[in-house]
Amino acid sequence: MIFNSLEFLIFYPMVLLLYFTLPKKYRWMMLLAASAFFYLYWSVKLIFLILFTIVISYTAAILIEKYKDNLVLKRTCLVVTLVACFGVLFFFKYFNFLADSVVSVANLFGAGWDDFSLNLILPVGISFYTFQTLSFVIDVYRGNVPAERHFGYYALYVTFFPQLVAGPIERPENLIPQLHADHDFSWDNAIPGLRKMIIGFFKKVVVADLIATYVNAVYNSPDTARGLSVLIATMLFAVQIYCDFAGYTDIAIGCAQIMGIKLMQNFDRPYISTSIKEFWRRWHISLSSWFMDYLYFPLGGSRCSRPRHLFNLCVVFLVSGLWHGAAWTFVIWGALHAFYQVVGILLKKPKAQLYAKLGIDESAPWVQTMRRVITFILVDFAWIFFRANSFSDLAKLMKRLFTDWEFTYAYIADSFAAMDLTVVAVGIILAAIFIMNRMDITDLTPAPSDGTPEDRSAVASIRYTYLIWIIAVAWLLLLIGDGASSFIYFQF
């Protein structure tokens, strides 16, 4: 089940009704059943895989806490969990990638190997819930959190439907206590939660799905693309992937907040970043912080020699690229961001010295603007590797981008025609991006803090009515037309 579907429009109000009418002692059962139904809507077989991950991690955490003085047993339980969870993730997500790579390399040397890849279906959300279970076991091992003894609540922590499929990747110390708490209906939760959902639906349905048509026209047909159309499509993809993924997490956060549960923030206007380092503090925050806590710091972080520090960064970004997808294009995307980071660190001191010699104030608005533009260009260029369907498509797109340029009216017309992009469509896209940007800047104007809850609700409903209509109309048109589109990060 996906958020932008008619099924969810029916499912979610029913869950809310049951959640706030059932006694507290039955709520976890209902939420667990609802989460299972939400996930099984894709395939009934998927329940066995996620249940295996839950059972292994739950048992390991209980044993680690119970025998906390037995270092050998603790480490054994941790290793078993890592092997089991990463083993499942590797098999379903990376086995065919590795098999294809091995066969390709072997055949380059005349081995004549046959393809031995398997007909596997990537389970939805496997990368997200695997990391969530691992963070629980690792934190129990470190003594940061107690093991959750109630199997039902732990299963709910892993499968909580708003963030199950595409995050944010929650931590046990944040989510588990909230699942245990008794949440009554509150307008102070319902209004901002609904507001967050509206913003998410606007990003996904109105902006991302609108832009996707023009991006796909170029990236799915690289042979007919022109240099200008590749440039425009890549810039539009930067907006599309942000609105698609941030839209999902906004809806997830809003869904949970209405129930009184606060999920972590996952995006913070990443495209205003003045450096690649800042970009990764603002983009997919739950994943970035996960890699920092469970990979970067254990490797030594920055508290080591300069070469080791740079090596640690490279490892994190290479793993991050591979996490996003089982293809070499994703690995290169991660490597490119690692290269950006390494160059940024190496040039930090010389750049500061140059600014000092030239008398340039780094905090000056024009300097910050220039740095934002450069950062966006670097990030946007890397998105080409992320979006390209294959290496052959990537080569064609790169060739077009750097060689296929003319400064004639006919060339510009052909470039726009290749994308089926009209002047009216450009205007609609720019208007949608402008509205989305204003939403991010203000997160919409909050309802007044004074007055009764009913007064705040009435004022808020007036302010957001026009946005609700925008979402409703766009949603209905989508359902009547091609149907609800999936979210990009579901494939990860």
The answer to whether the beta carbons of residues 248 and 200 sit under 8 Å apart is yes
Question: Which residues have CB under 8 Å from 396's CB, separation 6+?
Answer: 222, 223, 225
Q: Is residue 254 part of a domain?
A: no
Question: What does the alpha-carbon distance between residue 274 and residue 382 come to, in Å, rounded to a whole number?
Answer: 16
Q: Looking at the structure, tell me whether residues 78 and 196 fall in a common domain.
A: no
Q: Is residue 227 part of a domain?
A: yes
Q: For the chain, percent helix, then strand, then coil, each to nearest 5?
A: 75, 0, 25
Q: Looking at the structure, tell me whether residues 373 and 445 fall in a common domain.
A: yes
Q: Looking at the structure, tell me whether residues 139 and 215 fall in a common domain.
A: no
User: What's the angle, vertex CA 290, arms to CA 289 and CA 292, rounded to 5?
Assistant: 60
Q: Is residue 214 part of a domain?
A: yes
Single-letter residue type at 307: P
Burial 169-181 (b: 16+ CB within 10 A, else e): bbbbeebbebbee
Q: Looking at the structure, tell me whether residues 385 and 446 fall in a common domain.
A: yes
Among candidate residues 486, 465, 472, the one with its CA nearest the CA of residue 9:
472
Q: Calculate the dihedral angle through the C-alpha atoms of 408, 376, 264, 121, rounding to the nearest 10 degrees.
A: 60
- Alpha-helical (H) ranges within 67-142 are 71-89, 95-108, 126-142
Q: Looking at the structure, tell me whether residues 202 and 79 fall in a common domain.
A: no
Question: Which residues have CB under 8 Å from 42's CB, separation 6+?
Answer: 1, 124
Say what the pLDDT of residue 289 is. 93
Q: CA neighbours within 13 Å on the CB side: how many for 478?
A: 23
Question: What does the alpha-carbon distance between residue 159 and residue 239 come to, in Å, rounded to a whole number?
Answer: 29
pTM for this entry: 0.87
Single-letter residue type at 325: G
Say what the pLDDT of residue 481 is. 44
Q: Is residue 284 annotated as a catalytic residue, yes or no?
A: no
Active site residue: 180, 183, 309, 324, which one? 324
Q: Looking at the structure, tell me whether residues 401 and 322 fall in a common domain.
A: yes
Say what the pLDDT of residue 15 is. 94
Q: How many domains does the chain have?
A: 2
Say what the pLDDT of residue 480 is. 42
Q: Is residue 115 part of a domain?
A: no
Q: Looking at the structure, tell me whether residues 270 and 320 fall in a common domain.
A: yes
Of 135, 161, 182, the position where a domain reaches its end is: 182
Burial 359-396 (b: 16+ CB within 10 A, else e): eeeeeeeeeeeeebeebbebbbebbbbbbbeeeebbeb
Q: Looking at the structure, tell me whether residues 176 and 282 fall in a common domain.
A: no
Asked whether the bond before 168 is cis by omega within 30 degrees of 0, the reply is: yes
Among candidate residues 189, 80, 92, 196, the one with its CA nearest the CA of residue 439:
196
Q: Looking at the structure, tell me whether residues 128 and 228 fall in a common domain.
A: no
Say what the pLDDT of residue 276 is. 94
Q: Looking at the structure, tell me whether residues 156 and 215 fall in a common domain.
A: no
Q: Is residue 256 part of a domain?
A: no
Q: CA neighbours within 13 Å on the CB side: how many for 185?
A: 10
* CA 131 vs CA 158, 168, 169, 294, 480: distances in Å: 10, 11, 7, 10, 37
Say what the pLDDT of residue 132 is. 93
Q: Is residue 110 part of a domain?
A: no
Among candidate residues 179, 177, 142, the one with its CA nearest the CA of residue 159:
179
Tens digit of each residue's pLDDT, the chain (492 residues):
788 788 888 899 999 999 999 998 899 999 999 999 998 887 777 788 899 999 999 999 999 999 988 999 999 999 999 999 999 888 888 887 788 778 777 777 777 777 777 777 778 888 889 999 999 999 999 999 999 999 999 999 999 999 988 879 999 999 999 999 999 999 889 988 988 888 888 888 888 888 998 999 999 999 888 999 999 999 999 999 999 999 999 999 999 999 999 999 999 999 999 999 999 999 999 999 999 999 999 999 888 899 999 999 999 999 999 888 888 899 999 999 999 999 999 998 898 888 888 888 888 889 999 999 999 999 999 999 999 998 899 999 999 999 989 889 889 988 898 888 888 888 888 888 888 887 777 664 554 555 555 555 544 544 555 555 555 555 544 444 444 566 665 555
117: left (phi over 0), alpha (psi -120 to 50) or beta: beta
**In terms of residue numbers, what domain contains 347?**
188-246+266-491
Show the tokens assigned to 444: 């919409």
Q: Looking at the structure, tell me whether residues 142 and 229 fall in a common domain.
A: no
Say what the pLDDT of residue 9 is. 85
* CA 82 vs CA 17, 131, 257, 290: distances in Å: 38, 10, 32, 15
Show the tokens assigned to 431: 């208007």
- Alpha-helical (H) ranges within 183-327 are 187-201, 209-219, 227-258, 276-282, 285-291, 297-299, 306-324
Question: What does the alpha-carbon distance between residue 264 and residue 267 come to, in Å, rounded to a whole number?
Answer: 9
Q: Looking at the structure, tell me whether residues 218 and 146 fall in a common domain.
A: no
Question: Which residues have CB under 8 Å from 459's CB, separation 6+?
Answer: 447, 448, 451
Q: Is residue 261 part of a domain?
A: no
Say what the pLDDT of residue 385 is. 94
Among candidate residues 139, 368, 392, the one with its CA nearest the CA of residue 274:
368
Question: What does the alpha-carbon distance between residue 225 and residue 139 come to, in Å, rounded to a whole number?
Answer: 49
Q: Is residue 255 part of a domain?
A: no
Say what the pLDDT of residue 479 is. 47
Say what the pLDDT of residue 178 is. 94
Question: Which residues have CB under 8 Å from 172's CB, separation 6+?
Answer: 135, 136, 139, 145, 148, 157
Give the DSSP letter of residue 444: S
